[in-house]
Amino acid sequence: MSDGTTGGTPAPAEGRTAAEEDRLARVGLTWLTEPGTRAVHRLVGRAGPVEALHRLLDGEVADARLREAVRARLAAGNPREVAERALEQTERVGARLVTPGDDEWPHRVRDLERLARGGTERRVDLEIAPPLCLWARGSWPLAEALERSVAVVGARAATPYGLHVGSEIGYGLADRGWTVVSGGAYGIDAAAHRGALSADGLTIAVLACGVDRPYPVGNTALFDRIAETGLLVSEWMPGADPLRHRFLIRNRVIAAATCGTTLVEAAARSGATQTLGRALALGRPAMVVPGPVTSAMSVGSHELLREHPRARLVTGVPHILEEVGRIGTDLAPPARGPQRPHDLLDDDAALILESVSRRGGNSPDALAARAGLDIRTALRKLSLLEQLGLLARRDGGYVLPPRPRDRAEHA
């Protein structure tokens, strides 16, 4: 047919370059089949996007399910015409199309090829191949923005605890020069984005709809701020609806494009746990913030820690940077309590201090005997303890100084 929907291989439009044909074909394929479809990815790898589109339109594919999906989709329009209109709309909304041939293509997403080899019949698991193209809205080059990036995901129905932690992590990562990547949803996603923006940092929202109609609508102001200073990214052309299954398809891009994924709160059944599962399958750092054991929003997080030995428990930005940062330079400091004068004592001084009785009778000889030390050693340690303010001399002996509460009561 001359309209290009079936049969034949139409000649390129007059004046259109091979690169332009490639881009149009990628957009057409993305519209014709859902992003990430394994069979389409393999066909593009063998024949290129232009020829792959021709073969799909001609029905020259072995996958019967794919042939049926294409046939059904063609009832809605001509993919080449749809692609041309999509590119025009892309310019109108101030976005751009990014393809694997562009300098700003995020090459980490190629690792999704490893996930595209397993056998499964679940649709969400079939659609896990690398993207054919991406739409971006915002001035930052996509690859540069994702070079040092961490995904922060979690529950939509987040608790105050989760919102606080998500915001703190977003702020801390951005403050240290890392890009915060999330999905723009209510709850943890929005908290992480806002935390990064509060630090005047870079944040990216990866959407399950067109970059011109962010979802949820209640986060419109947030998306506008992200587009001004960071990036809105999507595999779906402008105007595309946020269909339910697209959120699960989208999650693989969040996991693959970043250096690691951090989960902050997740119920027993949560799309955020799927994102972390993708990170684990890709060999990326997969990190989980623990929560209260009494909270339903911690069940999914804790089960991931139990079931996946490679999932790492993290409690803040230092732990996250130790997982995703450079070896030997981003180590988290060990958790320590406040240092006390007692921490400076050696074993002999500690023995002397423990031997002091609050009832008096603490002469140097008595203390040396109780501690099992010779008198010369005891005198040196008593002098040290007095300098540190841990002992006071009184009536030829030594006593413990008053505790702060005792001093306040006698003031």
Burial class, 161, CB count within 10 angstroms (exposed 0-12 / middle 13-18 / buried 19+): middle
Q: Which domain holds residue 25?
A: 1-86
Is residue 329 in some structural domain? no
Residue 266, pLDDT above cutoff 80 = yes
Domain co-membership, 174 together with 305: yes
The whole-angstrom separation of Cα 64 and Cα 45 is 19
Q: What percent of the chain has pLDDT over 70?
A: 87
CATH number at residue 181: 3.40.50.450
CATH number at residue 384: 1.10.10.10
Domain co-membership, 164 together with 299: yes
Is residue 96 in some structural domain? no
Check if the beta carbon of residue 83 is closer than 8 Å to that of residue 133. no
pLDDT for position 330: 55
Q: Which residue has the higher pLDDT, 47 or 334?
A: 47
pLDDT for position 387: 85
pLDDT for position 7: 38
Is residue 116 in some structural domain? no
Give the pLDDT band of residue 87 (cuts 50, 70, 90): very high
Domain co-membership, 32 together with 142: no
Domain co-membership, 219 together with 285: yes
- Calculate mean pLDDT across residues 85-113: 97
Domain co-membership, 353 together with 294: no
The whole-angstrom separation of Cα 216 and Cα 28 is 26
Domain co-membership, 347 together with 298: no
Is residue 216 in some structural domain? yes
Residue at which a domain ends, from 22, 55, 86: 86
Residue at which a domain ends, from 258, 292, 324: 324
Reduce the secondary structure of the chain to three states and give it as a string.
Answer: CCCCCCCCCCCCCCCCCHHHHHHHHHHHHHHHCCCCEHHHHHHHHHHCHHHHHHHHHHCCCCCHHHHHHHHHHHCCCCHHHHHHHHHHHHHHCCCEEECCCCCCCCHHHHHHHHHHHCCCCCHHHHECCCCCCEEEECCCCHHHHHHCEEEEEECCCCCHHHHHHHHHHHHHHHHCCCEEEECCCCCHHHHHHHHHHHCCCCEEEEECCCCCCCCCHHHHHHHHHHHHHCEEEECCCCCCCCCHHHHHHHHHHHHHHCCCEEEECCCCCCHHHHHHHHHHHHCCCEEEECCCCCCHHHHHHHHHHHHCCCCEECCCHHHHHHHHCCCCCCCCCCCCCCCCHHHHCCHHHHHHHHCCCCCCCCCHHHHHHHHCCCHHHHHHHHHHHHHCCCCEEECCEEECCCCHHHHHHCC
Domain co-membership, 45 together with 148: no
Residue at which a domain ends, from 324, 359, 378: 324
- Calculate mean pLDDT across residues 192-210: 98
CA distances from 127 to 4, 28, 223, 298, 388 (A): 26, 17, 26, 28, 67
Domain co-membership, 319 together with 358: no
Is residue 334 in some structural domain? no
The whole-angstrom separation of Cα 202 and Cα 181 is 9
Is residue 253 in some structural domain? yes
Domain co-membership, 393 together with 316: no
pLDDT for position 356: 87
Domain co-membership, 188 together with 258: yes
Give the pLDDT band of residue 61 (cuts 50, 70, 90): confident
Domain co-membership, 283 together with 349: no
Domain co-membership, 72 together with 6: yes
Is residue 45 in some structural domain? yes
Is residue 307 in some structural domain? yes
Number of domains composing the chain: 3
CA distances from 59 to 47, 62, 64, 80 (A): 15, 9, 9, 16
The whole-angstrom separation of Cα 234 and Cα 86 is 13
pLDDT tens profile 295-352: 999 999 999 999 999 999 999 999 999 999 864 455 545 555 555 666 678 889 888 8
